[in-house]
C-alpha cells in the first residue's frame, strides 16, 4: 500500500441495478481477500479498515485475519453487514490476542452464535486495547451474551458495548449488573431488542445506585417494565446534567 494511506474503505456492489443483475458482482472474492491480507502485512500507516457489506464469510475473513495478525497499525476495524460466523470470529480473536492496537471493532449484523460469543469473552479477559465493541444483530443468545458481560469483570479498557438484538435474557442482565458494581470504565451499553424481562430490568436499575460512571443504557423493547425503563433513563439523564454543571 502507498505510504501514508491511513483509511481504506471498500464495498463491492453495483449502482442502479434494477431487477436484472448478476449476483456474482456483489461482495469480495477469496483472491480479493488475499490481496487485502498482503496489503495489511506490509502497511505501517493504515489506521481504518472498513469492509462492510461484502458477503464476507468465515474462509474469507480468516484470510483477511491472517494479514491483520501481522499488522500493528489498524485501530478501527469495520466488518459489519457480512456473513461472519463462529469460525471467522475465532480467527479475529487471534488478532485481538496478538495485536493489541485494535480499539474499535464493528461486527454488527453478522452470524455470530454462542461459540463465537464465548471466544470473544475469552479475548476480553486479556485484551488491553478494545474501547468499542459492536455485536448488534447477531445470534449470540443468552449464553454468549452473558459470557461476554461476565468477562468484563476484570476489563478496564472497554467503554462502549452493543449486544442489541442478540437473544439476551435475564442471565445477561444479572451478569452485567454484577460487573457494573465494580466496573468504572463502561460508558455506553446497548441491550435493546432483547428479552431481559422485569427482573433483568430491576437488577440493572438497582445497580445504577452503585455504578456512577455509566452514561447510557438502552433497554428499549427488552421486556423491561415501563417504570424501570423510565427510572433508568431519568437516573442517567440527571447524571449527565450534573456532570455538565460541574464543567
- Give the chain's domain count: 2
* 29-44 as b/e: b if 16+ CB within 10 A: eeebbeebbebbeebe
78 & 34 share domain = yes
Residue 62: domain span: 1-111
103 & 40 share domain = yes
pLDDT per position as a tens digit, 29-42: 999 999 999 999 99
149 & 68 share domain = no
What is the predicted pLDDT for the residue at 205?
98
Give the closest residue to 105 by CA, choosing from 84, 131, 124, 85: 131
CA distances from 8 to 11, 59, 70, 89 (A): 10, 21, 17, 21
**What CATH number should be reported for the domain holding residue 71?**
3.80.10.10
CB-based contacts of 64, cutoff 8 Å, min separation 6: 33, 36, 37, 40, 51, 56
Domain boundary among 93, 111, 129: 111
100 & 153 share domain = no
Cα-based torsion angle of the residue sequence 101, 110, 184, 221 in order, rounded to the nearest 10 degrees: 160
Residue 104 in domain: yes
Residue 39 in domain: yes
Residue 129 in domain: no
103 & 172 share domain = no
Q: Which residues pair with 160 in a beta bridge?
A: 132, 188
107 & 1 share domain = yes
3-class DSSP state for residue 220?
A: coil
pLDDT per position as a tens digit, 78-87: 999 999 999 9
51 & 147 share domain = no
Residue 49 in domain: yes
76 & 143 share domain = no
Residue 132 in domain: no
What is the predicted pLDDT for the residue at 23?
60
Domain boundary among 91, 111, 131: 111
pTM of the predicted protein model: 0.94
Residue 127 in domain: no
Specify whether the CB–CB gap between 130 and 96 falls below 8 A.
Answer: yes
How many CB atoms sit inside 10 A of residue 244's CB? Answer: 8
Residue 222 in domain: yes
Residue 219 in domain: yes
Mean pLDDT of each 10-residue bin along the chain, 247 residues long: 79 72 76 97 96 98 96 97 98 88 98 99 94 99 98 95 99 98 97 98 97 97 97 95 81
Amino acid at each position: 500500500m502507498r505510504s501514508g494511506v491511513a483509511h481504506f474503505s471498500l464495498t463491492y456492489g453495483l449502482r442502479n441495478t434494477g431487477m436484472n443483475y448478476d449476483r456474482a458482482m456483489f461482495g469480495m472474492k477469496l483472491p480479493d481477500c488475499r490481496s487485502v491480507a498482503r496489503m495489511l502485512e506490509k502497511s505501517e500507516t493504515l489506521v481504518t479498515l472498513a469492509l462492510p457489506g461484502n458477503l464476507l464469510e468465515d474462509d474469507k475473513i480468516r484470510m483477511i485475519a491472517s494479514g491483520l495478525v501481522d499488522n500493528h497499525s489498524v485501530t478501527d476495524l469495520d466488518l459489519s453487514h457480512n456473513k461472519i460466523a463462529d469460525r471467522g470470529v475465532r480467527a479475529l480473536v487471534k488478532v485481538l490476542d496478538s495485536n493489541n492496537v485494535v480499539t474499535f471493532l464493528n461486527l454488527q449484523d453478522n452470524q455470530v452464535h454462542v461459540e463465537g460469543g464465548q471466544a470473544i469473552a475469552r479475548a476480553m479477559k486479556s485484551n488491553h486495547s478494545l474501547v468499542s465493541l459492536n455485536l448488534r444483530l447477531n445470534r449470540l443468545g443468552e449464553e454468549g451474551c452473558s459470557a461476554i458481560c461476565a468477562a468484563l469483570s476484570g476489563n478496564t479498557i472497554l467503554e462502549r458495548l452493543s449486544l442489541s438484538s442478540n437473544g439476551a435474557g435475564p442471565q445477561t442482565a444479572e451478569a452485567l449488573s454484577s460487573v457494573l458494581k465494580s466496573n468504572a470504565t463502561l460508558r455506553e451499553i446497548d441491550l435493546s431488542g432483547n428479552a431481559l424481562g422485569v427482573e433483568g430490568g430491576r437488577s440493572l436499575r438497582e445497580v445504577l445506585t452503585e455504578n456512577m460512571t455509566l452514561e447510557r443504557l438502552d433497554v428499549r423493547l427488552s421486556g423491561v417494565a415501563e417504570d424501570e425503563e423510565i427510572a433508568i433513563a431519568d437516573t442517567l439523564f440527571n447524571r449527565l446534567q450534573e456532570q455538565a454543571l460541574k464543567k
